[in-house]
Amino acid sequence: MSVSDAGGRADELMGVILAAGKGTRMRPFSEHWPKPILPVLGKPLMAYQLEMMAGLGIRRVVVVVGHLGHEVVRALGDGSQWGVRIEYVEQEEMLGIAHAVSRLEAHVDRPFFLFLGDIFFVTENLAAMLTRFREGGLGGVLACKREPDLEAMKRNFAVMAGDDGVVTRVIEKPRFPRTDLKGCGIYLFDLSFFDAVRRTPRTALRNEYEITDSIQIFLDDGYQVEAAEVVRADMNVSYPKDLLDLNLLLLERSGEQEWLGKDLHRGADSVVSRSVVMDGARIGAGAELEQCLVFPGGNVPDGRVRVRTIFTADSEIRCEPEG
């Protein structure tokens, strides 16, 4: 459903994606590939978010870059390939999500969807967030999901809301969650949210400016924020195995046995099974791949049998199975 389908105008809101983090837990990939442009079935991770925004009718998107920002620009260009027009803003210091949002005030002139750029989202009826925002005269809407995994709740933020969906409190990384309603890294805010961002203090928890603190200040100022259960799955790409699992999950959902890119160089007797091999990769003679991921331009040595392994042009990372 597009914004027009929902009864709105395509130009009534903007998109913002935060893509500045270093992603140190993704080493060695993060030394050359910022997390938001890591490859997922032949596309940068963030391209899926840009396509979601385009599907909502959004045409202007501001992308906040930092670590290896030039690589993000090179991968995404002006955004036209994904149906949007991108403007880039640099976050000079990595001081948290609210700090990144504070860099945006001069570049955002209307209500905006905010996405965290290192998460793969599966959503249902995302346009419902805009409908509620507009019809309810709200200050914001938080995309949420019911999270049965207590440990996952502890790593994210809990959303305390009434039966009517009105948010009363948000809690960053709760040690003892009192709800299973989890905030998922997609937000819709009115411009008045910047007033709360400006007054957000640096926290002791991570010595950063937390967006949950900004949201709580916003609530305390009297703005109404609602929770929308529109997220069905959210995969945070924090470690190499997360990237492998995401690619394999989408491969499985496609119904195909393998995903093969263009201009591949395959040696004699090479075997690819339930794996993703991207453009320009080389698979050596006699190599056998099972549940593997080969980056664009990646190199698989001759005669290797590998299971759950990621290959780049100059590295090989084995990802242990769950359990």
Q: What is the pLDDT of residues 136-192, one digit of tens each?
A: 999 999 999 999 999 888 988 999 999 999 999 999 999 999 999 999 999 999 999
Q: Please indicate, yes or no, whether residues 148 and 251 belong to a single structural domain of this protein.
A: no
Tell whether 245 is covered by a domain: yes
Rounded to the nearest integer, the mean pLDDT of the chain is 89
Tell whether 1 is covered by a domain: no
Q: What integer pLDDT is reported at residue 270 of this predicted model?
A: 92
Find all residues with CB under 8 Å of 292, minimum gap 6, and list them. Answer: 244, 272, 275, 276, 277, 300, 306, 307, 308, 309, 310, 311
Q: What integer pLDDT is reported at residue 7 of this predicted model?
A: 41
Tokens, residue 20: 């500045």
Q: Please indicate, yes or no, whether residues 231 and 248 belong to a single structural domain of this protein.
A: no
Find all residues with CB under 8 Å of 305, minimum gap 6, and list them. Answer: 287, 288, 290
Domain region containing 125: 14-236
Q: Residue 174, Cβ neighbours under 10 Å: how many?
A: 17
Where does the chain have alpha helices with state H? Answer: 45-55, 69-76, 97-102, 127-136, 150-155, 193-198, 211-220, 240-254
CATH number at residue 83: 3.90.550.10
Tell whether 7 is covered by a domain: no
On the 0-12 / 13-18 / 19+ scale of CB atoms within 10 A, 176 is exposed
The answer to whether the pTM exceeds 0.85 is: yes
Q: Model confidence at 303, in pLDDT bands (50, 70, 90)? A: confident
Tell whether 149 is covered by a domain: yes
